[in-house]
């Protein structure tokens, strides 16, 4: 495996070439420096600083309250940790829906202020104008179709999309519109596998699936789901590769026990002072202790 220094920067062109060669694209979410470093080391192609941040890191019940400032703060941390993956910042709810100009201004902040290479936004035909304006300014845009969590109230919950012929046809049309508007890739979330495969074959840009089967050009998961760090609910499409929640609880309980029984810290975790220096200190302290204190009556000694 090439080291992170030998690895070339992943660009939107790299991703397009991967699709053409039939090579699968890997994408994960990250929200902090340490996680970004770990993903860089193993050569993940795309890191998405997703607005899932709101749910898995900040504890909101949906992604709707996430602000631009919260997104930019976490994007900066990720950008400090990973240089080679393509870094995508997720545009939060209401940062691109009001007007294309507003969308462009906010997309620009992800690049100028937070070190992102591209942005992602949710929706089909209704966001095409925003996509066009952002792409025209030179910022790559990733689309997101299917289950779009920012429309949770309109969709009636976190549920699979495109399960009727009519709904699936609309998804295919939206994918084509996003491609024509200049998107470099599209996330397909919670879409039946055969529909995701149809879309992937009908557009030239890569599709990245999450709960959309193996027919997509790449796969993405929310990292906290994959690591078993988010325990509120686990969607059907998540594969847990670790149970870090249980591991964290075990480590915290062991620490608490060690501190309470004085088993930690041991000499191995402790700084020392030279014997002669310590003796000199005690000597100096005993002399100063025997001196009269300011304001003390000497006859009282
Ligand atoms: O916010 C996010 O993490 C996402 C992924 C689910 C693609 O949009």
Global confidence as pTM: 0.92
Cα separation values, 4 from 9, 23, 26, 220, 225, Å: 10, 20, 16, 21, 25
Residue 118: partners with Cβ closer than 8 Å, 6 or more residues away: 12, 86, 87, 88, 89, 139, 140, 141, 142, 184
The model's pLDDT over 26-66, given as tens digits with 9 standing for 90+, comes to: 999 999 999 999 999 999 999 999 999 999 999 999 999 99
Query: Are residues 152 and 21 both part of a single domain?
Result: yes
pLDDT classification of 6: cutoffs 50, 70, 90: low
Is the confidence at residue 24, as pLDDT, over 60? yes
Same domain as 262, residue 168? no
The domain that contains 111 carries what CATH number? 3.20.20.60
Q: Is the dihedral of CA 233, 238, 239, 240 positive or negative?
A: negative
- The answer to whether position 42 is within a domain reads yes
Q: Does residue 90 have its Cβ closer than 6 Å to ligand 1?
A: yes
Domain of 163 in residue numbering reads as: 12-243
| Residue 172 burial (10 A CB sphere; 0-12, 13-18, 19+) | middle
Q: Do 75 and 168 sit in the same domain of this protein?
A: yes
Domain count of the fold of the chain: 2
Q: How far is the CA of 26 from the centre of ligand 1 (A)?
A: 14
Q: Do 233 and 275 belong to one domain?
A: no
Would you tell me how many other CB atoms lie within 10 Å of the CB of residue 226? 18
Instruction: Verify that 139 and 220 share a domain, yes or no.
Output: yes
Beta strands in the chain (DSSP E): 25-29, 46-49, 86-90, 118-120, 141-146, 185-189, 207-210, 218-221
**Within a domain: 1:** no
Q: What is the pLDDT of residues 264-275, one digit of tens each?
A: 999 999 999 999
Lookup: tokens for 98: 């009001």
3-class secondary-structure state, position 90: strand
pLDDT reported for residue 301: 42
Is position 203 within any domain?
yes
Q: Is residue 301 in a domain?
A: no
Does 239 share its domain with 261? no
Cβ neighbours of residue 275 closer than 8 Å, sequence gap 6 or more:
none
Tell me, in angstroms, the distance from the centre of ligand 1 to residue 276's CA.
60
Ligand 1: distance of its center to the CA of 169 in Å?
A: 23
Q: Which residues are identified as catalytic?
A: 189
pLDDT at 213 over 50: yes
């Amino acid at each position: 495996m090439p080291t992170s220094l030998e690895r070339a920067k992943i660009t939107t062109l790299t991703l397009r070439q991967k699709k053409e060669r039939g090579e699968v694209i890997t994408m994960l979410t990250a929200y902090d420096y340490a996680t970004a470093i770990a993903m860089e080391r193993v050569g993940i192609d795309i890191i998405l600083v997703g607005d899932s941040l709101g749910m898995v890191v900040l504890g909101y019940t949906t992604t709707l309250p996430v602000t631009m400032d919260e997104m930019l703060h976490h994007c900066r941390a990720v950008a400090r940790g990973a240089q080679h993956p393509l870094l995508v910042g997720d545009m939060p709810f209401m940062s691109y829906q009001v007007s294309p100009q507003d969308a462009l201004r906010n997309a620009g902040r992800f690049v100028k202020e937070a070190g992102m290479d591209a942005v992602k936004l949710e929706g089909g035909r209704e966001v095409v104008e925003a996509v066009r304006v952002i792409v025209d300014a030179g910022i790559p845009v990733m689309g997101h179709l299917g289950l779009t969590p920012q429309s949770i109230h309109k969709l009636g919950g976190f549920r699979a999309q495109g399960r009727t012929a009519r709904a699936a046809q609309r998804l295919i049309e939206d994918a084509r519109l996003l491609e024509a508007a200049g998107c470099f890739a599209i996330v397909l979330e919670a879409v039946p596998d055969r529909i995701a495969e149809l879309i992937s074959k009908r557009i030239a840009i890569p599709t990245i699936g999450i709960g959309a089967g193996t027919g997509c050009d790449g796969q993405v998961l929310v990292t906290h789901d994959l690591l078993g760090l988010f325990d509120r609910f686990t969607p059907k499409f998540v594969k847990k590769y670790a149970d870090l929640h249980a591991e964290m609880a075990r480590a915290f309980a062991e620490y608490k026990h060690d501190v309470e029984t004085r088993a930690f810290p041991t000499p191995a975790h402790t700084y020392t002072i030279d014997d002669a220096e310590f003796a000199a200190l005690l000597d100096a302290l005993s002399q100063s202790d025997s001196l009269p204190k300011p304001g003390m009556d000497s006859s009282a000694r």
